[in-house]
Structures are given as structure tokens and as C-alpha cells.
Amino acid sequence: MQPKMTQTLRIYLACQHLRLKTMWTYRLDFVIGAFAYIVQQALVLLFLDVVIKRVGTLQGWDFWELAFLYGLLAVPRSLTSLFANSLWILGLGYVRNGQLDRLLLRPINTLAHLLSDHFYPQWIGQILTSIIILVVAAHHINIQWSVGSVALLLLFLASGTVMYFSLLLAAASTGFWIGDNYSLLILISNMAEFGRYPISIYPMPLQVILTWIIPIAFATVLPSSFLLGNPGTRIALWAPLVAFLTAILAYGIWRFGLRYYQGAGT
Amino acid sequence: MSITYRFRRFVNLYKVFIHLASLAARQRLIYRISGFILFAATLMEISALVFFWRVAQGESMDEAILGPQGITGYIILAGLLGAANIGFGDQQMGKAVRSGEVVRHFLQPLDIQMTMLAREIGGWMGAALLTTIPVLLLSSIIIGTPRPAGAIPLLAFIISWLLGAATIAAFDYCVGLLTFRTVQDFFISQAKVAIVAFFSGALIPLAYLPDILKLIAEFLPFQQAVYIPAAIYLGIIPLDAILKALLIQIGWFVFLILLGRLGWRWTVQDVALHAT
């Protein structure tokens, strides 16, 4: 019998609560981990600052608009990393080592169990800095913030998170077939990095790929262009639908892979 | 012990490290599909930077800083060197400490620092064969850049590349020693990669940095991994200055090796091995 969603959610939250308690036992370690990511984020902004000070704008995008764009990518990415870090080791750590059998035997949705198996609260540091970057950038750019535009921003962030998670899930599911798929996950992650800059800087074929095949543009560039009031960007309002479709497709690939999985045979 | 005996012992030990390096290289080459995917990932990473810089810089040549092939040539080469040389080698120590495998290093008659260096350099060679060199050749054929400035710069580049990789491997070892004090090796590694990538010239030509950041980059060893080999290859460093650049790289490598040795001595003072 499939466990109910509420029961699965309750078990998932209980697992995360335990992990938080474990991590909090080693507070200094937690702080080191969180701080390390703050350093990483700061260097990204420093890079943008150095470049923009030299060239002025990047195809009309100034520093704060680029920082806002980066924030729209960083928040979903860090949220996904916090809750779905296990996906990175599905192939190597679970399928190849037979650890997935352990998850299949438990009375909890396998995907939920996988996601709760590795939880690093240190990613909270990255989430907080990403949000700070987004908020500070939003304050400096030319957007008339209202309840409506804030709600739209939150919707775009939620869609971006779902999209990024779905891409990662689809890529991770290839682990059922190819085992060591870590490189593929790096490939997808690198593709997502393209969303850090305005996609107009890329050649047209790449723009098409980033919009319709790996729809990162719907997570970053299109929403920020729409919020900035750039013409011809109403397509950004399709972001939640694109996120939903991506999630359905990714979950389908996951289920297909799980059916294909035959166990470690030990 | 006679000098002959000592010499033979040294050569045998040297052979062991060469063997460890070749094992690590072969391990990288075994998983070829993974290697090909990594090839595509590296290509993508560098393409993003090239597109970014082409738009940011325009087609400005800026020869004194970027060499005769402009921003495209520099960014492709720097990006490749960054992808090849800057990695997560410091996590070797973290894995060894967490799994308890580090105990083996205390017991075996092999220097732990040289063992880890050999493995990292071997892994780097495997990655170079599978990813870096193919991408370099592909971009030379398709885009036409980057081309070496001559035969001597090409030869010096190979030596400089190896020295740069060894320097970063030595630095990774020093960072890896932190794993004895904290379990956050993954996150420290991520921060390290970001810092090294920034100050090595992999993301941005060092000459473009503001003066204060340029000064910081001068006093850090990271440009030995990317900017120096790239500058030799592209002819930014003139022929008569190549030898000095290589000697500085050797100096940094020796310094980091000694720092690693000091770090190890300090670390093992507090290590408790749980005998189970």
C-alpha cells in the first residue's frame, strides 16, 4: 500500500529534524560550512563588479540587474541543494553500491526517503546570502515593487526551484542505467550556470536550448526581464506551467528508472 | 647505509609514486563515458565564459594583456587550465579521515604527502588526456584559437602546466589537512575552488583586476596554475622571461611542499587513532 502523502511528509520532516539536531551538535562545523558558501557567493559578485566596472554594462544590464539575475538563479539552486542533495549521489552512492535497496524496503515514498537521507543545513548559509543578494539587488533596480510584483517574484522563485529540482531529478535518474552519472549532473549544473547571464549574449541555437529544452531561461532571465518591464517578455508568465511540466516529466523518468532497477542482488 | 643503497632506495620510492600516479590516471580513463560527459561539461563551462567575455569585451584585442589572439584565445586556454588544474583534490584527505583509511597512511612506509600528490597529479593527467587536450585541439581546429606563440613557448607551456598542477596539488594537500579539525571538507573545498579560480586568472585576466586585488593575486600561488602557463603559451610572457616564470613556479611548489610538511607535523600531534 502506498503511504499517504501526509504520512510521507511527516516522516520526511522528522528525518530532517533529526539531522538538524545532529548538525547543531557540531556548531563550529556548521558555521564553517555556512561561511564557506558566503565566500563563494561574495566572489561571484566581486567578479561581476570587476567586469562591470571595466565595461559599464553587459548588453544593457548593469551590475544590480546582473546581481538580481544571479539571485534568481542562486535562490532556487540553493533551496534545491538543501533539500535534494542526495540526487547528486543517486548513481554512485545508491544504485552502484546497492544502498537503494535499503530505501525500497521502507514504508515511505522512495524519492522522499532519498531526499531526506542527506541533508546539509550548511546550505542555509547559501540560501540566506542568495536571498540577501536578491533583496539588495531588487532594492537597487528599476522596479516598482508592490504586493503584486512581490507575489510574482515569489511565484517565479518557486517555479525556478521546481524547474531546477526537476532538471536535477531527471539527470540523477539516469543513474539507474549508467551508474556513475556524476559527470552528467555536473553537465546539467553547468548548463544551469548559463542562466546567470542574459541569454541574449549566447548564439541563437543555445538560446533556444536554454528556453525550450533545458528551460533555465524561464527561471532567471525571462522573469527578471518581465519584472524590469522589458518589452516582449510576457512569456515569463508561463514559468509556473513550464515548471509543472518539467516536474511531471522528471518524475516520470524517475518512476521509469525505478521500475528498471533490479537491485544489487546481495 | 652506503650512498649507492640510499640512491637505489630513492629511485625505488620514486618508482612507487610514478606507479601510484599512473594508477590514478588509468582510473580516470576507465570510466570513458563519464569522461566524455565531463568533456561536454567543460566545453559548456568555457563556452559560457567565452560568450560572456566576447560581449563584455567586444573584439578588443588588448594584446599586451591577452596576447595576439585576444579575449577568446585567453579565456579558452585559461578556462581549460582552470578546469584541469583546479579541482577537489583536498577532499582526498577528507575521505581518508572520515572513512578511517588515513590510519593506513600512518602504518605504511610511504610519505603521505607524496602519495596524495602522486594520486592527484595522476588523476590530472587522466583528465588532461580525456578532456583538456581534446577541448584544446577542438577549439584550435574549429575556432582557430588558441595557438601557441611558438615551439619554445609550447614546450615551456607543457612544463609550466605540469608545475602549475603540482603547485595546486601541494596547496590542496595543505587545505586537506584541515579535515583533521573539521568535517566540512566539502564546503571548504567549494570555497577554495572559488578563491583559486578567481585569483588564478581562470575567470578574469589578472591584469583587469583592481590594484588591490592584483596585489593579493601576486602574493598567492594560484596564478601559477592558470595565468602563468596561459601567458607562456600565448606569448604574453616574452621568451627571455619564461625561465624566470618557471623558476618562480618551482619556488612556489617547494614552498607549499614544505608548508604541507609543517602542517602535517602540527596535525598529527593531536591525532588519536581508534583501534578497532
Nearest CA to CA, how far is A37 from chain B (Å)?
6
The band of A246, judged by pLDDT with boundaries at 50, 70 and 90, is very high
Q: Which of B266, B256, B269, B267 is nearest to B96 (CA)?
A: B267
Look over chain A and give the mean of its residue pLDDT values, rounded to a whole number: 86
Task: Give the model's pLDDT for residue A164.
Answer: 93
> What per-residue string of b and e applies to B203-227 under the rule 16 or more CB within 10 Å gives b?
bbbbebbeeebeeebeebbbbbbbb
Q: At residue A153, what is the residue type?
A: L
- Contact between A193 and B191 using a beta-carbon 8 Å cutoff: no
DSSP state of B104: H
Question: Phi-psi category of A202—alpha, beta or left, where left has phi over 0 and alpha has psi -120 to 50?
Answer: beta
Which residues in chain B (166-205) have CB-CB distances under 8 A to chain A?
Answer: 182-184, 186-188, 190-191, 194-195, 197-198, 203-204
Nearest CA to CA, how far is A95 from chain B (Å)?
16
- Contact between B208 and A54 using a beta-carbon 8 Å cutoff: yes
User: Which of A32, A38, A77, A85 to probe by mutation at the B interface, max B CB count within 10 Å?
Assistant: A32
Contacts of B33 in chain A (CB under 8 A): 178, 180
Q: What cell numbers appear for B275 in the block?
A: 583501534
Q: Which of A33, A58, A202 sits opposite B56 (nearest CB)?
A: A58
Q: How large is the average pLDDT for residues A21-34?
A: 75
- Contact between B182 and A32 using a beta-carbon 8 Å cutoff: yes
Nearest CA to CA, how far is B227 from chain A (Å)?
16
Q: Which of B48, B52, B191 sits opposite A39 (nearest CB)?
A: B191
Nearest CA to CA, how far is A136 from chain B (Å)?
22
Beta-carbon contacts of A213 under 8 Å, excluding residues fewer than 6 positions away, are none
Residues B173/B117, Cβ–Cβ less than 8 Å: yes
A103-112, A135-144, A149-158: which is most confident: A149-158
* CB of B57 less than 8 A from some CB of A: yes
Nearest CA to CA, how far is B44 from chain A (Å)?
7
Q: How large is the average pLDDT for residues A201-222?
A: 90
Q: List, in sequence order, the alpha helices (H) in B177-226.
A: 185-200, 211-218
* CB of B37 less than 8 A from some CB of A: yes
A112-116, A131-135, B40-44, B120-124: which is most confident: A131-135
Q: For residue A126, what are the CA distances in angstroms to A35, A82, A83, A262, B194? A: 8, 9, 13, 37, 14
* CB of B60 less than 8 A from some CB of A: no
- Contact between A40 and B190 using a beta-carbon 8 Å cutoff: yes
Task: Give the model's pLDDT for residue A119.
Answer: 74
Q: What cell numbers appear for B155 in the block?
A: 614546450
A:B CB pairs within 8 Å:
100
Nearest CA to CA, how far is A5 from chain B (Å)?
33
Nearest CA to CA, how far is B188 from chain A (Å)?
6
- Contact between A47 and B55 using a beta-carbon 8 Å cutoff: no
Burial of B273 (0-12, 13-18, 19+ CB in 10 A): exposed
DSSP states of A61-106: B-HHHHHHHHHHHHHHHHHHHHHHGGGGGIIIIIITTTTHHHHHTS
- Contact between A122 and B34 using a beta-carbon 8 Å cutoff: no
Separation between Cα atoms, residue B148 and residue B143, nearest integer Å? 14
Task: Give the model's pLDDT for residue B68.
Answer: 66
Contacts of A40 in chain B (CB under 8 A): 190-191, 194
Task: Give the model's pLDDT for residue A115.
Answer: 86
Q: How does pLDDT run along chain B (276 residues), one tens digit per residue?
A: 677 777 777 677 778 888 888 888 887 777 677 777 878 888 888 888 888 888 877 655 566 667 667 778 888 888 888 888 777 777 778 888 877 778 877 777 778 888 888 888 888 888 888 788 888 888 778 777 678 888 899 999 999 999 999 999 999 999 988 888 777 778 888 888 889 989 999 888 888 889 999 999 999 999 999 999 999 998 888 889 999 999 999 999 999 999 999 998 888 877 666 555
Separation between Cα atoms, residue B22 and residue B26, nearest integer Å? 6
- Contact between A36 and B213 using a beta-carbon 8 Å cutoff: no
* CB of B207 less than 8 A from some CB of A: no
Query: In the predicted model, is pLDDT for residue A218 greater than 70?
Result: yes
Separation between Cα atoms, residue A219 and residue A234, nearest integer Å? 14
> Reduced to 3 states, what is the DSSP secondary structure of residue A126?
helix
Contacts of B38 in chain A (CB under 8 A): 183, 186-187
Q: At residue B171, what is the residue type?
A: F
Q: Which of A35, A39, A184 sits opposite B194 (nearest CB)?
A: A39
- Contact between A122 and B184 using a beta-carbon 8 Å cutoff: yes
Nearest CA to CA, how far is A194 from chain B (Å)?
6
Contacts of A194 in chain B (CB under 8 A): 44, 48
Residues A226/A72, Cβ–Cβ less than 8 Å: no
Separation between Cα atoms, residue B59 and residue B145, nearest integer Å? 14
Contacts of B203 in chain A (CB under 8 A): 47
